[in-house]
Amino acid sequence: MRKVVTLSFFSVFLMACASTDTAEVSVEEPIQYLDLTLDDKKKLIDDYWVVEKKQEPKYPISAARKGLSGCVDLIVGIKSDGKSGGYKVKKSYPKGVFDKYAADALNNWKWVAADKNGNSVPVLTTIQLDFMVSGSKNKAEAEKQCGFSHK
């Protein structure tokens, strides 16, 4: 009886393996992004996508305790469905302090195609997220590195 159960199990297992060998595997085509990351093309983003939902990044407690301000400049892919297609940190100050918090917030953003973008063309663009705390110890350097001013 034990041999029959064992053989039955193995035959079902082999049939299951055989049936998966013939299954078609779908491969997603890479997204062809329109590159709007260069300085002379940055303002074109408004012709393609409008932010519908924006989430402000959380401020890391460790940075607040140290009195740090800074920024993260990200290259972001906006897919044809208006969701983030990923990101790459272009520049951050202070390096690595705010990166995760900026990325976490950006992953919750949602865009809608602008009127001129009827085909919902996916684009690459840059977005800078700023992290400011009043009385920051690195105020002058943060303003210089990030291009903002705060009081």
Q: What is the mean pLDDT of residues 15-40?
A: 70
Please provide the DSSP assignment of 80-115 as one string.
Answer: TTSBEEEEEEEEEESTTTSHHHHHHHHTT-EEEE-T
Is the Cβ–Cβ distance between 57 and 129 less than 8 Å?
Answer: yes
Find the range with the poorest average confidence among 12-16, 43-47, 81-85, 100-104.
Answer: 12-16
Q: Which two tokens stand for residue 120?
A: 């919902």
Mean pLDDT of 40-56: 94
Q: Which helix or strand (DSSP H or E) is residue 53 part of?
A: strand 49-53
Distant-in-sequence contacts of 145-149, Cβ < 8 A, 24+ apart? 145/70, 145/71, 145/93, 146/69, 146/70, 146/71, 146/93, 147/71, 148/71
Which distant-in-sequence residues (6+ apart) come within 8 Å of 131 by Cβ? 57, 59, 60, 63, 68, 69, 70, 71, 72, 98, 101, 102
Tell me the Cα Rg of the chain.
Answer: 24
pLDDT of the residue at 148:
81
**81-136 tens-digit pLDDT:** 999 999 999 999 999 999 999 999 999 999 999 999 999 999 999 999 999 998 89
**Is pLDDT at 16 greater than 50 in this prediction?**
no
Distance separating alpha carbons of residues 97 and 64, to the nearest angstrom = 11
Joined tokens for residue 98: 């705010």
pLDDT digits (tens, 9 = 90+) for 59-80: 999 999 999 999 999 999 999 9
Q: According to the model, what pLDDT value does residue 39 have? A: 86
Answer yes or no: are the C-beta atoms of 82 and 120 closer than 8 Å.
yes
If one counts every other C-beta atom within 10 angstroms of the C-beta of residue 13, the result is 10
User: Does residue 94 contact residue 67 with C-beta atoms inside 8 Å?
Assistant: no
